[in-house]
Every structure is written in C-alpha cells, then in structure tokens.
Amino acid sequence: MGQINPEELLLAYRLGIFPMAESRDAEDVLWIRPHERGIIPLETFHVPRRLARVVRSDRFRVSFDRAFAEVIRGCAESRPERRETWINDAIIEVFESLHQRGLAHSVEVWRGDNLAGGLYGLAIGGAFFAESKFSRERDASKVALVHLAARLKTAGFKLLDAQFPNPHLDQFGAVVVTEERFQQLLSRALTAPADFYFRAGSAVGAAAGAAGETAAAVAGPGASGWAGSSVLQVITQTS
C-alpha cells in the first residue's frame, strides 16, 4: 500500500495541489491541480431559507474534532448514489496523522448519539481546504458546512477551498476562479493569522462573543458548535 509523506502533502496544498485516489481500494494517489477551482467566499456565504430553518431548529448537535476517524471513514463509504470514492487508505492515514498535529479537522453532526453526517478538511494559515462530506440523514452535511463557515469566518480564515466547481455548492455562494486567481487568493490566505481553535481573549474570541457565545464555549478540540441562531448571526447572507 502506498503512503503519503505528511510534509510533502502540506507542501502540495500550499502550491494548490491535492491528492485523489482512483478508487477506495487504489494503492496510489494522483496529484491534482485543476485549471478552474471552486471556492466558497466566506464574506458572502449564503444559507438557503429552508436550510436556515433546519440550522436554527438545532435538530442536530454539532461538534468539532470529536470523531475525526469516523468522519473521514464516513466520507470514504460507498453509497447508492456514489459507488466509488476517491479516499483510499493512504489518504485516510495521512489525514489522521495531520489531525493529530492539529492541522486536519472534522465537523460532526449528531442525532442523539448517532453520527448523522459531517465533513473534514485541512487548515493551513487562513486557508481551509474542504475535502469531503457525507450524510446519513437529510441535511446533515449541509448543516456541517454552515457551522464550518461560521467558525472559519469568525476565526479569521480568508479562503474556503471546495476544489472542483460543483453545482450542489452554488446554493452556498460558491464561485469558480481560474488557477491563477486561486493561487493569488491562496498566497494571501496562507499568511493570515487564523486560529481554528478559538482562544479566550483573542480578537476571534471577542467576535465569537459578539455572536452570542463565549470563547470558552467553542475553544479547543472536541468543542461543541454554537447554537444554530448564533451561527446564522455570523452568516448574515440568508434568503
């Protein structure tokens, strides 16, 4: 089974390159740099009206970095609408290593004690590379994305990369940029002083407080997400 060196992977992401396997059982990965890139601008992130009602209802409980291994394996599962995935064992292994270093993160969406969905990605500086998401219940992965965007926006992130243009993401305000434009946005984001983990007393912590939550309520691995109403206060673009 092929392995991915974590340092080489981090360098690749800094250059706008990411790995994908041809199938779940593939031994090796391909290194991809699309000519067109899908991104979701955080300043204009949009929550559709019906989804906003779901977020506000707190039907699901949301946490961060509480079940990374379960989330990445959930994303790698085959499902009726997607028989093959691009996440193989090499990708799982390297991202679990980066999670242990505090660089790869997961958003978990729970119904009671059951994992209903989630997403995972990689944070470098003020850039967050969203890798994959999954749902076992309707809207679970969408709720995860909304909570992620609110956290990133408050924490000082400048770029939410969605990799490929995807019509499903248009509802959230996703746009397509050229490779050259993406490299410009990435270069600026990598030097931004963002902090995925909220720290009490910091500017991002104060912003979290302005949204109706204390910094302590969202700090650190395993922390719970905000209430849905606070998330929607951070993301004002609803319709």
82 alpha carbon, distance to own chain's centre: 20
CA dist., res. 203 & res. 154, Å (int): 9
User: Pairing mode, if any, of strands 18-20 and 46-47?
Assistant: unpaired
DSSP letter string over 33-81? Answer: --SEEEE--GGG-EE-HHHHHHHHHT-SEEEESSSHHHHHHHHH--BTT
Q: Mean pLDDT, 10 residues at a time, over the chain (239 residues)?
A: 90 98 91 96 96 96 97 88 80 98 97 97 98 96 97 95 92 97 98 80 44 46 78 75
DSSP letter string over 107-153? Answer: EEEEETTEEEEEEEEEEETTEEEEEEEEESSTTHHHHHHHHHHHHHH
CATH 3.40.630.70 fits 6-238, yes or no: yes
- The pLDDT value given to residue 211: 47
- The pLDDT value given to residue 130: 98
Do residues 37 and 177 make contact, with C-beta atoms less than 8 angstroms apart? yes
- The pLDDT value given to residue 91: 98
CB atoms < 10 A from the CB of 124, how many? 17
- The pLDDT value given to residue 226: 82
159 φ, ψ to 5°? -145, 130
- The pLDDT value given to residue 175: 97
Do residues 211 and 234 make contact, with C-beta atoms less than 8 angstroms apart? yes
- The pLDDT value given to residue 228: 85
